């Protein structure tokens, strides 16, 4: 959407979004080929963890607007060799929207490349709404989020029978999140939740201090996986009591996924029903039906 001077006004576009469900919701599924600018999840870092759909879209792109250093440069080198690449770091919506709109309207194939998955702390929707209001269709191509890469690196599951029934994706209080919006302590207090903290590497020590002040078990397992799936990946293991100092000693201030909960160690879980008595009963029932 443009104002009277012909300049892009993304906020007006965002504010004017109607409550009616877009018809494309019922026409397309995730992974379908669609018209417009795709917002592609680049995955956690390793180029091999980009989806097939994302790889194919990047291979055909003329312009790739990417999330700067949050996207592994190896991925750009491998899949964007023939495209112009532009970092979105330091650019506001008033600059990004015309950049992508003008290229698309000029006939270029444009891809917006986000780190991880655009649905998790990606700020994708505001860009999509602004582009849609300027007549440019958009859609999302999912990616692998860093919590899943961290889980794979640690060779565990985020959910484990009789250990963790739930997963919380969250972030700590700070410049963009007020104290009363920080629910990390509540999630940890539930006991059977694996809490995955995004955008909180700089505040690991402070976050753990608050958990200790709230009376949580200091021996609760915690892992901080720096650059999950990148060549310089580093896994720091500890507890609520020790992880803050360990991360500080390592010198990391960004780009680590912090995972709290008993599932971190992959221990003390119970055999699931899926491959136990429940599965056997299913086989017996099938046999009985066949006999009948």
Query: Looking at residue 255, which CATH number applies to its domain?
Result: 3.30.950.10
Tell me how far CA of residue 285 lies from CA of 42, 228, 271, 279, 289, in angstroms. Answer: 44, 44, 21, 10, 6
Co-location of 131 and 45 in the same domain: yes
Q: What integer is the mean pLDDT of 210-222?
A: 97
User: Looking at the predicted structure, is the pLDDT value of residue 255 above 70?
Assistant: yes
- The closest alpha carbon to 162, from 260, 276, 264, 270, belongs to 270
Question: Is residue 89 assigned to a domain?
Answer: yes
- The CATH number given to whatever domain includes residue 36 is 3.40.1010.10
127 in the same domain as 29: yes
Query: Does 4 have pLDDT greater than 80?
Result: no
Of 130, 91, 136, nearest to 2 (Cα)? 130
In a domain, 1, yes or no: no
Question: 75: Cβ–Cβ under 8 A, 6 or more apart, which residues?
Answer: 42, 43, 45, 47, 50
CB 117 within 8 A of CB 14: no
Structure confidence at residue 51 (pLDDT):
97
pLDDT at 281 over 70: no
Q: Is residue 88 a contact partner of residue 110, using CB atoms and an 8 Å limit?
A: no
Across 58-67, 196-205, 272-281, least confident range:
272-281
Co-location of 23 and 63 in the same domain: yes
Which residue from 198, 185, 209 is spatially nearest to 256, judged by alpha carbons?
A: 198
Residues 50 and 70 in one domain: yes
If you write DSSP's letter for every residue of 83-94 in order, what string do you get? SEEEE-TT--HH
> What does the DSSP 8-state code read for residue 148?
H
**Percentage of the chain with pLDDT > 90?**
77
Which residue range forms the structural domain that includes residue 137? 10-143
- The pLDDT of residue 286 is 54
Q: pLDDT tens digits, residue range 53-76? A: 999 999 999 999 999 999 999 999
| Number of domains the chain is built from | 2
pLDDT top residue among 24 and 152: 152
d(CA 209, CA 145): 27
CA distance 195 to 241: 16
- Give the residue from 36, 82, 34 showing the smallest Cα distance to 58: 82
Residue 286 is assigned to a structural domain of this protein:
no
Work out the average pLDDT over 2-11.
61
In the numeric block, the tokens 């877009």 are attached to: 22
Whether 113 maps to a domain, the answer reads yes
């Amino acid at each position: 959407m443009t104002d009277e001077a012909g300049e892009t006004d993304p906020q007006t576009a965002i504010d004017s979004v109607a409550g009616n469900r877009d018809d494309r919701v019922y026409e397309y599924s995730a992974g379908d080929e669609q018209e417009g600018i795709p917002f592609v999840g680049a995955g956690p870092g390793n180029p091999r963890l980009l989806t097939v759909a994302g790889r194919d879209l990047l291979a055909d792109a003329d312009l790739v607007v990417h999330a700067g250093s949050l996207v592994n440069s190896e991925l750009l080198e491998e899949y964007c060799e023939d495209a112009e690449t532009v970092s979105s770091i330091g650019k506001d919506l008033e600059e990004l929207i015309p950049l992508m709109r003008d290229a698309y309207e000029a006939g270029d194939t444009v891809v917006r490349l986000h780190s991880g998955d655009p649905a998790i702390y990606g700020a994708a929707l505001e860009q999509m709404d602004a582009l849609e209001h300027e007549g440019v269709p958009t859609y999302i191509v999912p990616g692998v989020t860093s919590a899943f890469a961290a889980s794979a690196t640690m060779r565990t599951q985020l959910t484990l029978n009789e250990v963790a029934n739930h997963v919380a994706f969250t972030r700590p209080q700070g410049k963009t999140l007020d104290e009363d919006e920080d629910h990390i302590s509540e999630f940890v207090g539930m006991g059977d939740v694996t809490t995955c903290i995004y955008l909180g590497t700089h505040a690991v020590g402070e976050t753990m201090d608050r958990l200790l002040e709230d009376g949580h078990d200091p021996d609760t397992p915690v892992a901080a996986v720096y650059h999950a799936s990148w060549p310089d990946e580093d896994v720091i293991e500890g507890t609520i009591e020790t992880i803050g100092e360990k991360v500080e000693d390592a010198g990391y201030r960004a780009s680590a996924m912090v995972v709290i909960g008993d599932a971190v160690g992959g221990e003390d879980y119970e055999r699931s029903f899926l491959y136990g008595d429940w599965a056997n009963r299913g086989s017996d029932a099938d046999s009985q039906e066949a006999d009948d």
